[in-house]
Structure 1
């Protein structure tokens, strides 16, 4: 057949004008993603310690360097500033993650600033004011910070200039008579992603079916619960998904921790997770690093990053680590989903079929019995990669080390 086509083309060329060849298709724009974390004594020692010391691999306040008035209270302040990080591309977005403990009236504030290749430095922008509880301060993002080279959209730092490198600052705050907060780790994912409306489906390869054992919880059974923490139901996909992953590691809160939840509430640990991830400024429980910060208080490691495709996701599943993924889709774009469309939704990737389709625990199901779903590989990647940029929560315990990153820099 090929020979016949070539012969016909040659004959046509003898009687028809020469038509210039079509230009070659443009090479795919690379998805630039980098994750950098500081989690050890040596990591922290490489930064600038101002009033803090490294004790057993953790940052704690030693001698305050300032005081601060916040929420009608006075706080001692100390801080740690990371080294500058150069990811090798001009980033457009950055999302931080942290692992901290805030006993008593203590809390932390995480900030970022960037620098252009020409040496212009931005202001420090706040990525979160965070405490594990809500007795003394309200956990919150800080809106309206688009002042110079970047701005903050809830949990995401978005640049307006060509930022070549970035730096984090962690402020430790301690009220009168309170113990110091403790920072076990801090990091950030920076990225520069192509603007695309769809993606070519990644090849699944020849792999057997794999499914992790992950408990199934429905966010919808919490409809109307606690309006002051988002109101349950459709609003609680993120803490419900986070709770499912914690359940895999037997790291859910114990009964005494959610004793304030009335009897009869299904899966009361989800109510606890919603309270523990609520963002007062955003007025919701979907702040990404607030969810991983909550998870990090209960297990070994948790952070926000982006993946490039489902092949990378499968590496985590094969390592025994389920992933909380952020998706959005329109009507008819994700067959079998329990909701017709969404501007943003969190669910848990728990496995893959032999054909490479995605097995998930989708908390939007009306009951726990309907949470397990299978989505077509191409439809899922289209709902995940172009929308959230392939965003995931990585939550794991000591028994499940991260897959070796090989050539990847995003974990």
Structure 2
């Protein structure tokens, strides 16, 4: 994201949170985004070498449906489980035809459809937030919808909330989140289901996910979903986090791309490169794993533009309702459109978790917000920004590919460990006006092979991501 704060649905959330805190209620980690506008931080305790707080228990539960047994255990209506090297769920015999009016084009079309619903998942961490993510193939003429229904800790249920309407392309429907979803107790903020007032003790205790698979009538085409999951979390309210102890000195060779060289390019995708930190970071890691775009795929990009693959990533992560490229699940789903890749959205608990991943060869994208003086060497402040962690120095400092750089060669940065972990992991902060706003609480995108090595499986399992 740029340093200039831009209106978004999450700036509205931040205002609500700040008002609640001023009134005495203190909700836990609220919805956040790489391209959110939630105010800037105030210099606080980030220069400490340690905290008096004890390390908290893991506050995240990520569950995914990925095996043939998983898909067979769900309730399929017009859909079927698909076996093979990459099991999934696809259309079998459609339930019928429904009309869908695209809110962004106003065009109405008929679509055959089928559904798959997961069994309930009881959250090990009764949660204030739940974020779904998925990996799928959607050939031209197909798309999908992901919904989530939660059960509250008081025994009542949420409605079925739409967590995304998605296709890898943009020729049939426009990729979109859905605004205005709330039951007065929880609200969907683009890609995040959040409890409205966590101070009441209300939590999401369990959830089910529902897929609706769409295709043009009369064809044999089908979306195929290989991975469907959700991350529930209840991150403690805190301005500072416990200091971790350095345990790794290692750097991965990850391509470097600057979002800033794309300023003014394709302004229809959130005003151009100034706001493209999320897709730029995504493209770095996609290419680290060997993902490449063909000349045909990039033919639509002006040949005068450098790094056309970054423009491509912006277009194909763009959320037409949010009006930006920072929808977390849309970025993970984009990564999984490349052969033999999968992507998830989760939260991590410490830099030790990142060290575990780096040691196994897995870079990570982290979301953070800070004032200029809170992250030495950044040279800017931001209300929300994605960067790619690629390693650690011998002193334990964080090596990051930061897309908010003047050019590609300037992307590699080294940030002080204590500062970085605080601006990334805290769930509350003060903005420049001294008001309390939210922090991202350790949000992370992880992209990794469809068939990870034993060491990669061990590392992912250690940080709470089943493979």
TM-score by length of structure 1 reads 0.90
Q: In 2, distance between residues paired with 1:409 and 1:276? A: 28
Alpha-carbon contact 2:360-2:459 (below 8 Å) kept: no
| Per-residue CA distance 1:292-350 (angstroms, 9 max, x = gap) | 00001114211111100100001110110110111110120001114x11111000000
Q: Which range moves more in the overlay, 50-59 or 135-144? A: 50-59
**How far did 1:354 drift?**
1.1
**How far did 1:111 drift?**
0.6
2:92 is aligned with 1:62: yes
Alpha-carbon contact 1:279-1:285 (below 8 Å) kept: yes
2:358 is aligned with 1:317: yes
Alignment of 1:292-303 (within 5 A): 292-298=332-338, 299-303=340-344
Q: In 2, distance between residues paired with 1:90 and 1:385? A: 19
Change (3 A) 1:80 1:223: same
Q: In 1, distance between residues paired with 2:409 and 2:53? A: 46
3-state secondary structure, aligned to 1:262: coil
2:86 is aligned with 1:45: no
Alignment of 1:11-410 (within 5 A): 29-56=56-83, 57-71=87-101, 72-160=108-196, 161-178=202-219, 179-205=221-247, 207=248, 209-298=249-338, 299-338=340-379, 340-386=380-426, 387-397=439-449, 398=451, 400=453, 401-404=456-459, 409-410=464-465
3-state secondary structure, aligned to 1:229: coil
Alpha-carbon contact 1:220-1:232 (below 8 Å) kept: no
3-state secondary structure, aligned to 1:383: helix
Select the structure of larger CA radius of gyration. 1
Change (3 A) 1:369 1:408: closer
Q: In 1, distance between residues paired with 2:90 and 2:55? A: 46
> How many equivalent pairs are there?
384
Q: In 1, distance between residues paired with 2:444 and 2:405? A: 20
Alpha-carbon contact 1:334-1:380 (below 8 Å) kept: yes
Change (3 A) 1:358 1:27: closer
Q: Which range moves more in the overlay, 168-177 or 265-274? A: 168-177
Q: In 2, distance between residues paired with 1:238 and 1:100? A: 20
Q: Who is 2:9 aligned against?
A: none
3-state secondary structure, aligned to 2:130: strand
Q: In 2, distance between residues paired with 1:166 and 1:110? A: 13
| Per-residue CA distance 1:78-132 (angstroms, 9 max, x = gap) | 1111111112232110111111111122100001011124431111001100000
Q: In 2, distance between residues paired with 1:174 and 1:222? A: 35
3-state secondary structure, aligned to 1:127: strand
Change (3 A) 1:45 1:290: same
Q: In 2, distance between residues paired with 1:348 and 1:26? A: 27
Q: In 2, distance between residues paired with 1:254 and 1:407? A: 35
3-state secondary structure, aligned to 2:357: helix
Q: Who is 2:29 aligned against?
A: none
3-state secondary structure, aligned to 1:74: strand
Change (3 A) 1:123 1:100: same
Change (3 A) 1:407 1:270: closer
3-state secondary structure, aligned to 1:275: helix
| Per-residue CA distance 1:350-392 (angstroms, 9 max, x = gap) | 0001111100000000100100000000110111001211111
| Per-residue CA distance 1:159-193 (angstroms, 9 max, x = gap) | 24322111111110112244111111110111011
| Per-residue CA distance 1:39-81 (angstroms, 9 max, x = gap) | 1111111111111011222211111224321120011111111
**How far did 1:233 drift?**
2.3
Unaligned runs of 5+ residues in structure 1 are 1-24
Change (3 A) 1:232 1:32: same
